[in-house]
Every structure is written in C-alpha cells, then in structure tokens.
Amino acid sequence: MLRVMERRNFPVSSLRLLASPRSAGRTLEFRGEELVIEPLGMNSFEGIDLALFSAGSGISKEFAPVAADSGAVVIDNSSAFRMSENVPLVVPEINGGDVKNHCGIIANPNCTTAITLVALHPLHKKFRVKRIFASSYQAVSGAGARAIEELRHQVDSLARGKKFSPEVFPHQIAFNVIPQVDSFLDSGYTKEEMKMQNEGRRIMHLPTFKASVTCVRVPVYRAHSVAVSAEFERPVVLSEAAEAIAQAPGVKMPAEGYPMPLQAAGQDDCFVGRMRLDCAMENGLAFWVCGDQLLKGAALNAVQIAELL
C-alpha cells in the first residue's frame, strides 16, 4: 500500500502507521522518510481522514467502527464487511460511484473476484452476463508471507532430498496443486469459491448473477489466474468482445500470445487472453485472465478507492 501510494503520488500531509504491539517501534520508509510504527489502539484515529485496513477480519470488526466514529473513512481489505448491506463493496473501474453511499466504511473485494470482474464487467455491459463457470489458479502469496516461505522451503528440500512437513497448506504445495482455498461449506464449495457469486452480485449490481467456481492453490509466487466460461443473454461476437476489453479501464489484451502470472506480477492492469466462443453453451465466451492479487486484488484497489474519496 505504501509503495502504491508513493508511485501514484497520493496526496498525504500526514501518515500514521499502525500495527500490533509486536511490530511497534519498527520503521518503514515513505517518500524517503523513516516512519515509526505505532501500536494500534482506541485513540489511534484522531485527526485521520482515511484509514486503510489490511489486518484481518477480526481486527477490522473491532477497530473499523472505532476509526469511523473518530471521523475517518475506512477502506477495509478484509472480508469483515463485504456483505454488509450498508457498506459499499467497490471495484473503482466497475462501481466507483458506490463510494458516495458509505457510512464510514468501504470494503475491498476478494482478490480473485476483483481480478475476474475487471475482465467480465465490460463483457457484461456488452452482452449481459447470466452465469459463469470458473477455475482459479491462485498464487501462494495470497496466503501470506509464511506461505511464500513454505513453497521456497519445500522446493529446496525436495531438491536436496530432505523431508518436510506442510504447515501453512494442508498438503505439499511444491510441484503440486491443491483444490482447496479457504474452508469448506456444507454445499461442498469453499468460502473463497462463493465469494465470486456473492461479491459479484453486489459489485455489478446484478442480483441474479451465478458463479460456479473451483479455487485451486498452485506453486506460483505471485499473481492469480482464472479460467472463465461465461454465458450471456445476448449472442456473443468475438470481435466485439475483444473491443470491449480493449476499451475497458484496468484490463488489457496482449498483442501476441496469452498472459501468464510471471508477466502479470507487479503490473497494475489485469490481462486477458485465450478468448474464444464457448463450444459447450449458447451465447458463451471462454477467456483466461491474470492479475496481481497483491495489487488489483488488494493494495492498488484500496488506494484507488482512496483516490475516489
């Protein structure tokens, strides 16, 4: 978030860094200045206009209302308020106007949802989406710093013939794929998988939208990919679909070939390729989208919301 704010020249007259007592006293650099991290507390938000939260849903539920009561507008990156009726859930390229309806808290969407929707929404505007079938290929960094280290450790251990026990993921992630992201629901879907439908309905203002998703963790360090088959109300014309993507903000189509996580990592835009008429459904379009889940899926989207405010 700090690097995104620097790069986009976000207007800041005073910046306060808050974290757990464990991190208090450490410093982080912002625009060449070393800032000391302060411990989060009930009086941390006095005089603050904008508060960017990325500390997990438990912290958000406890302290976001405190920040809002202190006069700040909270942009929360956790799942705590995404389905709250009075909290806008915003992807600026899609429903930026919803920020006007906030009551002190605005929610950042799930990373996979945000990456998918910046590609799907321009197609929806053109052809009116009914439902999608999707499979995600999610990088380990989506599970945090320990997950990155676990992949590195496992690759190194396997190369050296050493044994190891998975800690962050339920199974070995190196040279493997795990068809589980988040915990399972009674339906057999995971919480992560249902976010695409539930959050997509709110962001696109489309209560009838349906999404059947399988979320898969893959041994990639950074950037999520999603294979999507979408069914629309209107007949799909491939050239018109490509034009809709080309004209949409926040998403691009490579001039040649197809996007991959290595190219998407570190990029603000999401990238679409492998676009083709779906041969298994009427008015269907299949496509592949890659995006940096730490940027468009998290930090960049939060800063873009702050820019709108």
In one-letter notation, the amino acid at residue 114 is: A
**Under 8 Å CB-to-CB from 166, ≥6 apart: which residues?**
150, 154, 172, 173
Rounded distance, CA 78 to CA 55, Å?
7
Q: Which residue has the tokens 């890659």?
A: 290
How far apart CA 210 and CA 212 sit, in angstroms, is: 7
Q: Cα(94)–Cα(117) distance, rounded to whole angstroms?
A: 8
Catalytic residues: 111, 224
